[in-house]
C-alpha cells in the first residue's frame, strides 16, 4: 500500500468509504489483508491537490492518518501531495558528521516575526557566523490551533500550514543544503496530542496497557502493533527520504513502551542505516532520553539500539546550578563544582547513583575508554529547560554576560556535541514560554491548570505562570532580532561577539571521533570554585568565583601555553576579535567569572 492509492489501515470499523471533494463523491473501499482498505481498481484516480477523508461505519469524514497536508486544520479534509515533483538542488550534498557539529535548536513560529520556514532562511548567514552546522527544528507536524510548541501533534505526516506547509519545508531543507547546513527534525512518537487525534477510530494506535506523562502510550507491542510500528517507521523515512532531512531528534524515547523482540529504536536505526547506504547521504538519529543509558548509541550487535547519540540533561543541570545557585527540584544533586567535573569527565552525573528527585538509583556508567563524548548532545539552554520554567525565563534574566560566557565556553569547547537554543547567542531578553491555542475552551483550561500543577515539585511561584492560551504568551516568546544592533543594549553585541569567537576556536579542535571520555581530565577546587578542563586541542581554566585567581597557583603549566581566548576580554571589547594573537602569553590571573582557553603542547 502507498499514499498514492488512497489505501488506509483501519481494522476497527466494519465499513470504510472514501469521501472526495470537488466533485463530491463517496467511494466504498474494499477490505484487504491485515486491516487495510483500498478502492476497487479503476474506481478513483490519485493525483495531487485532491481533498478527501474517510467515513468509518458512516461516521466522519475523518482525515487520513497519513495525510501529507491539512490545509483547513486537523479537523478538516486531507489533501494529496506529490512530494516527488519538487526540483531539488542538493545532488552533491552528502550530509555533515555529528562529531564536528554545532546544533542550533529553533521553533519556526517564534524564530522570526513572520513565524514561517521561508522567513527563517533569511538568517542563515547569522547562523554560519556562530559556527552552526546543524539546524534542528522543533516539531512541525500538524496540530490543532494556530500556534503550539509542536509536541501536541496529531498529523505526523503533515507540515503545519502556518509554517508554510510541505512545499515551504522542501524549500527550507534544499536551501539549507545549498548553504552547507544539515537539518534535523524533532519528531514525537511517544504520544499524540489531545485535539484532532482520530487515529484510535481507525485502529489500535494507542495501548491501554500503559500510560506516560502525556496520556495513553502508543501501541508498540500489543495486538495490531505491527502496523503501528510501520506507521512510525514510514513517517521517519518520509522526513529523511522525501524531504531530504539529515537526521531526527526523537522526543522522550524513555516513554516508548516496547517489550517486543526488537526495540522500535533498533528497528528504526537499521532502516535509517540502509537508507543512508542507498542514498549516499549521512543520516543521524539523536534520542532525548531520561534514562542516562548508553544503550541508546551502543551498537546493535552488542545489544544496543544503534542510534548516533542522545541528549544529556545532566550537563545542563550541572552548568545551571553552578552559575545560578538554584538547587530546588531536580537541580538539587548538582550543587557542587564536583558535579560539573564529573559530568565533563564521565558524561552522566547519575550513572548508577542515587537521584534525590527520583528517589531511587538512576543511570548507567559509561565506558570511558570506548565512549566518544560527541555522542552526548549538550546545552546550557534548550526549549525544555527554558520553556518548562514557571515564566519561561532564559539565563540572561538571572545572569550577567560574564557568567553567560562560562556557559557558552563549556558548551562550545567541552568534549560533547554543543547545541544552542535560538537567541542565546546574543543573550536574548525575550522569554520562551509554554503556549497553546486550543480552540476548545475546556481543553485550554485543563492545559493551564495542569501547567500550574507541574511546578509544585520545583518550588516555583505558581501565581506567575503565564496562561498558555493567552495570545500574548506566544507573541512574547518571539525573538527580537533588533536587540543585536541596539546601541543602547551593547551587552547583546558583546555576547554575540563571544559566540563567534568560540565558534572560531571550536573549528580548530580535533574531530570528536578521535576523542574518548578517558581523554578528558578535570582538576577543580570546591572551596575556591575553579576548574581546569584538559581535552585534546584545548585547556580551559574556568573561574566560577567572584574573585580573581592566580593562574600559577591553580595550573602552573598552563602559563607556558599560548592563549587562544579570554572570555572576559572579548566581552569587554565587544568586537569579536581575539584579545591577543594565538601565540600570545597567558595572563598571570584569571578574572572573576571568566574562562581562559589555551592551546596545549603536542
Asked if residue 394 is part of any domain, the answer here is no
Asked if residue 376 is part of any domain, the answer here is no
The CATH number given to whatever domain includes residue 544 is: 2.60.40
Answer yes or no: do 61 and 125 share one domain: no
Report the number of distinct structural domains present in the chain: 3
Asked if residue 516 is part of any domain, the answer here is yes
Instruction: Return the percent helix, strand and coil in the chain, to nearest 5.
Output: 35, 20, 45
How far is Cα 246 from Cα 184, in angstroms, rounded to an integer? 6
Answer yes or no: do 584 and 548 share one domain: yes
How far is Cα 157 from Cα 583, in angstroms, rounded to an integer? 53
How far is Cα 203 from Cα 558, in angstroms, rounded to an integer? 64
Q: Which runs of consecutive H residues, i.e. helices, occur in 374-470? A: 383-387, 401-413, 441-454
Asked if residue 478 is part of any domain, the answer here is no
Determine the longest span between alpha carbons in the chain, in angstroms: 84
Answer yes or no: do 106 and 211 share one domain: yes
**Domain enclosing residue 497, as ranges:** 491-598
Catalytic residues: 251, 288
Q: Which runs of consecutive H residues, i.e. helices, occur in 414-470? A: 441-454
Answer yes or no: do 153 and 45 share one domain: no
The CATH number given to whatever domain includes residue 37 is: 2.60.40.10
Q: How far is CA 575 from CA 271, 281, 496, 572, 591, in A?
A: 47, 38, 9, 9, 19
Answer yes or no: do 229 and 110 share one domain: yes
Answer yes or no: do 44 and 177 share one domain: no
Which regions in the chain score pLDDT beneath 50? 1, 576-583
Task: Point out which residues pair with 53 in neighbouring strands.
Answer: 19
Q: Report the pLDDT value the prediction gives residue 416, as an integer from 0 to 100.
A: 98
pLDDT digits (tens, 9 = 90+) for 282-300: 999 999 999 999 999 999 9
How far is Cα 221 from Cα 174, in angstroms, rounded to an integer? 37
Asked if residue 361 is part of any domain, the answer here is no
Answer yes or no: do 62 and 148 share one domain: no
The pTM for the full model equals 0.96
Q: Report the pLDDT value the prediction gives residue 349, as an integer from 0 to 100.
A: 97
Answer yes or no: do 542 and 577 share one domain: yes
Asked if residue 584 is part of any domain, the answer here is yes
Answer yes or no: do 189 and 257 share one domain: yes
What residues contact 73, with CB distance under 8 A and at least 6 apart?
Answer: 142, 144, 161, 196
The CATH number given to whatever domain includes residue 138 is: 3.20.20.80
Asked if residue 405 is part of any domain, the answer here is no
How far is Cα 295 from Cα 299, in angstroms, rounded to an integer? 8
Answer yes or no: do 158 and 30 share one domain: no
341, containing H or E segment: helix 337-346
What residues contact 569, with CB distance under 8 A and at least 6 apart?
Answer: 579
pLDDT digits (tens, 9 = 90+) for 164-181: 999 999 999 999 999 999
How far is Cα 412 from Cα 406, in angstroms, rounded to an integer? 10
Answer yes or no: do 247 and 109 share one domain: yes
Answer yes or no: do 122 and 40 share one domain: no
Q: Assess contact for 484 and 413: CB atoms under 8 A.
A: no
How far is Cα 510 from Cα 239, in angstroms, rounded to an integer? 31
Asked if residue 218 is part of any domain, the answer here is yes
Q: Report the pLDDT value the prediction gives residue 5, as an integer from 0 to 100.
A: 87
Amino acid at each position: 500500500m502507498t499514499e498514492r492509492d488512497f489505501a488506509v489501515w483501519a481494522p476497527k470499523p466494519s465499513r470504510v468509504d472514501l469521501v472526495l471533494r470537488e466533485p463530491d463523491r463517496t467511494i466504498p473501499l474494499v477490505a484487504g489483508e491485515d486491516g487495510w482498505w483500498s478502492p476497487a481498481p479503476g474506481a478513483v484516480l490519485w493525483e495531487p491537490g485532491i481533498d478527501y477523508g474517510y467515513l468509518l461505519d458512516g461516521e466522519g469524514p475523518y482525515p487520513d492518518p497519513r495525510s501529507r497536508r491539512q490545509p483547513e486544520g486537523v479537523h478538516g479534509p486531507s489533501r494529496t501531495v506529490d512530494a516527488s515533483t519538487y526540483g531539488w538542488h542538493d545532488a552533491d550534498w552528502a550530509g555533515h558528521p555529528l562529531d564536528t557539529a554545532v546544533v542550533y535548536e529553533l521553533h519556526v513560529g517564534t524564530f522570526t516575526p513572520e513565524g514561517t520556514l521561508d522567513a527563517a532562511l533569511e538568517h542563515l548567514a547569522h547562523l554560519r557566523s556562530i559556527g552552526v552546522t546543524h539546524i534542528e527544528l522543533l516539531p512541525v507536524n500538524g496540530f490543532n490551533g494556530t500556534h503550539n510548541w509542536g509536541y501536541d501533534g496529531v498529523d505526523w505526516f503533515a507540515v503545519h500550514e502556518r509554517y508554510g506547509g510541505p512545499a515551504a519545508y522542501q524549500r527550507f531543507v534544499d536551501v539549507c543544503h545549498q548553504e552547507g547546513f544539515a537539518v534535523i527534525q524533532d519528531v514525537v512518537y511517544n504520544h499524540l496530542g489531545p485535539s484532532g487525534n482520530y487515529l484510535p477510530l481507525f485502529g489500535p494506535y494507542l495501548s491501554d496497557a500503559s500510560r506516560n506523562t502525556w496520556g495513553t502510550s502508543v501501541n508498540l507491542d500489543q495486538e495490531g502493533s505491527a502496523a503501528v510500528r510501520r506507521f512510525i517507521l514510514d513517517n521517519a523515512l518520509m522526513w529523511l527520504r522525501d524531504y531530504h532531512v539529515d537526521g531526527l531528534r526523537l522526543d522522550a524515547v524513555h516513554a516508548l513502551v516496547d517489550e517486543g523482540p526488537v526495540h522500535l529504536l533498533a528497528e528504526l536505526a537499521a532502516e535509517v542505516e540502509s537508507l543512508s547506504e542507498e542514498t549516499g547521504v549521512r543520516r543521524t538519529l539523536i534520542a532525548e532520553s531520561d534514562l542516562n543509558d548508553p544503550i541508546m548509541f551502543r551498537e546493535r550487535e552488542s545489544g544496543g539500539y544503534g542510534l548516533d547519540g542522545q541528549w544529556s540533561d545532566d550537563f545542563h543541570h550541572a552548568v545551571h546550578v553552578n552559575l545560578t545557585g538554584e538547587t530546588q527540584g531536580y537541580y538539587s544533586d548538582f550543587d557542587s563544582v564536583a558535579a560539573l567535573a564529573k559530568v565533563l569527565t564521565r558524561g552522566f552525573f547519575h550513572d548508577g547513583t542515587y537521584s534525590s528527585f527520583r528517589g531511587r538509583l538512576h543511570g548507567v556508567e559509561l565506558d570511558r575508554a570506548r565512549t566518544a563524548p560527541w555522542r552526548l548532545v549538550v546545552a546550557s539552554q534548550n526549549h525544555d529547560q527554558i520553556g518548562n520554567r514557571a515564566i519561561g525565563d532564559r539565563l540572561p534574566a538571572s545572569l550577567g554576560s560574564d557568567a553567560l560566557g562560562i556557559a557558552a565556553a563549556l558548551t562550545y569547547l567541552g568534549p560533547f556535541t554543543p547545541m544552542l537554543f535560538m537567541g542565546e547567542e546574543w543573550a536574548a531578553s525575550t522569554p520562551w514560554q509554554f503556549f497553546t491555542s486550543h480552540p476548545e475552551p475546556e481543553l485550554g483550561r485543563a492545559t493551564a491548570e495542569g501547567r500550574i500543577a507541574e511546578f509544585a515539585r520545583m518550588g516555583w511561584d505558581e501565581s506567575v505562570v503565564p496562561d498558555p492560551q493567552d495570545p500574548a504568551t506566544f507573541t512574547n516568546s518571539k525573538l527580537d532580532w533588533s536587540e543585536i544592533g541596539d546601541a543602547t543594549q551593547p551587552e547583546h553585541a558583546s555576547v554575540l561577539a563571544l559566540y563567534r569567537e568560540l565558534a572560531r576556536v571550536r573549528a580548530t579542535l580535533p574531530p570528536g571521533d578521535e576523542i574518548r571520555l578517558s581523554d578528558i581530565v578535570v582538576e577543580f577546587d570546591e572551596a575556591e570554585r575553579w576548574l581546569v578542563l584538559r581535552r585534546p586541542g584545548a585547556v580551559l581554566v574556568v573561574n566560577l568565583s567572584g574573585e580573581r585567581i592566580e593562574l600559577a597557583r591553580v595550573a602552573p603549566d598552563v602559563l607556558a601555553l599560548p592563549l587562544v581566548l579570554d572570555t572576559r576580554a572579548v566581552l569587554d571589547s565587544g568586537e569579536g576579535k581575539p584579545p591577543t594573537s594565538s601565540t600570545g602569553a597567558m595572563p598571570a590571573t584569571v578574572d572573576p567569572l571568566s574562562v581562559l582557553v589555551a592551546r596545549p603542547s603536542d
